[in-house]
Structure 1
Amino acid sequence: MTVAEQIDEDVMTDAAMDEAEASEKSGKKGLIAGVVLALAGAAGGYFLTTSGVLPIGGKADVEAANENADSTPVKALPAVGFVDLPPVIVSVNAGDSRHLKFHAQLEVNAKYIADVEKMQPRIMDVLNGYLRALEISDLEDSLALIRIRGHLLRRIAIVTGEGRVRDVLVMEFVLN
């Protein structure tokens, strides 16, 4: 190899190294610029949402909720009381010895609590009669409890009088 070829090769090697360093530096510059822009965008987005410029989140939601809370009058809770019914265990018509344990409370308008308590033996009679008539297929449905509550509420309303019992609250409903 001659000296001219050696110099030519060294020049090419230096040029290739300069290109590699330049592409490596530009890659780092692009990465740094991307990170800086992402951080600036995140900070700007955070500022816009928390300052209330954009109505999504932050102070804007809190202020809107406070304004709505001040302008809407608070409704008083209705005057109600609860009458606890004793737990009932009834056998279910299934051929095998399966039992239903049922415990409920009645939500009663406050002025009728004494009247409903006096009618408790009749309420228990209606409750027992209805629960004993249920079949296993009636209890296995996913909407069974809702349907049973509705039927019991209607039967209890007939016994106690309309408008006295507001709801039947099921405390325990266990099928063994």
Structure 2
Amino acid sequence: MGLILGLVAALLLGGGGFYAAYSGLIGGSAADSKASEPAKGGGEGTSAGKNAPSETAFVPLDPIIVSLGNNATSRYLKFGAELEVDPAFKEEVTKLLPRVLDVLNGYLRAVDSRDIENPAAMGRLRAQMLRRIQVVTGTGRVKDLLITEFVLN
């Protein structure tokens, strides 16, 4: 009986912790809270939903074609993506695109072909590439990496 109560308590605490982290009650950064404050204020009656599209800009990346090596079942990877950036940094990020493409090219060539061919690894690959892009462009400039093309041939 004690084991069942302990299991139920652990599940409730785990679920509560997940909800708190997911909803932003805990673990949110100061930048996130500052960015959401103007949207909360009434001002002229604008809502956060109306302002959301104007707070984001996209910078397209040129497609990258990478040879996967002789041991891979697929020979080439064609990769295309867009960077989600803060509009204030769009011009800066655009100027750094050659460096971004260099970093992505190097990373994709170094990744094991089994990881690229595994559909479950897409999230990890995206996170690794985004982190490398953020190092090149500087913190706070690139919000997300949106993969538009990932074709193995």
Do they fold alike, i.e. is TM over 0.5? yes
Q: 2:58 pairs with 82, 100, 103, which one?
A: 82
Taking structure 2 as the reference length, the TM-score comes to 0.63
| 1:1-176 alignment runs, 5 A limit | 74-75=47-48, 76-77=51-52, 79-95=55-71, 98-176=75-153
Taking structure 1 as the reference length, the TM-score comes to 0.56
Larger Rg: 1
How far the C-alpha of 1:137 sits from its partner, in A, is 1.1
**What per-residue deviation string (whole Å, max 9, x for no partner) do you get for residues 92-112 of structure 1?**
134367000000000000000
**What per-residue deviation string (whole Å, max 9, x for no partner) do you get for residues 60-113 of structure 1?**
xxxxxxxxxxxxx83130611111100000001343670000000000000000
**What per-residue deviation string (whole Å, max 9, x for no partner) do you get for residues 21-48 of structure 1?**
xxxxxxxxxxxxxxxxxxxxxxxxxxxx
Ranked by relative contact order (alpha carbons within 8 Å, sequence separation 6 or more), the top structure is: 2
For 2:70 and 2:131, locate their aligned partners in 1 and report how far apart those are by CA, in whole Å: 26
How far the C-alpha of 1:129 sits from its partner, in A, is 0.1
What SS does structure 2 have at the residue aligned with 1:93? coil
What SS does structure 2 have at the residue aligned with 1:139? helix
What SS does structure 1 have at the residue aligned with 2:140? coil
RMSD: 1.6
Query: Structure 1 residues 94 and 138, CA, compared in 2 at 3 Å: closer, same or farther?
Result: farther
Structure 1 portions without partners, runs of 5+:
1-72
For 1:134 and 1:156, locate their aligned partners in 2 and report how far apart those are by CA, in whole Å: 16
Structure 2 portions without partners, runs of 5+:
1-45
Where do 4+ consecutive residues of structure 1 move more than 6 Å? none
The total of aligned residue pairs comes to 104
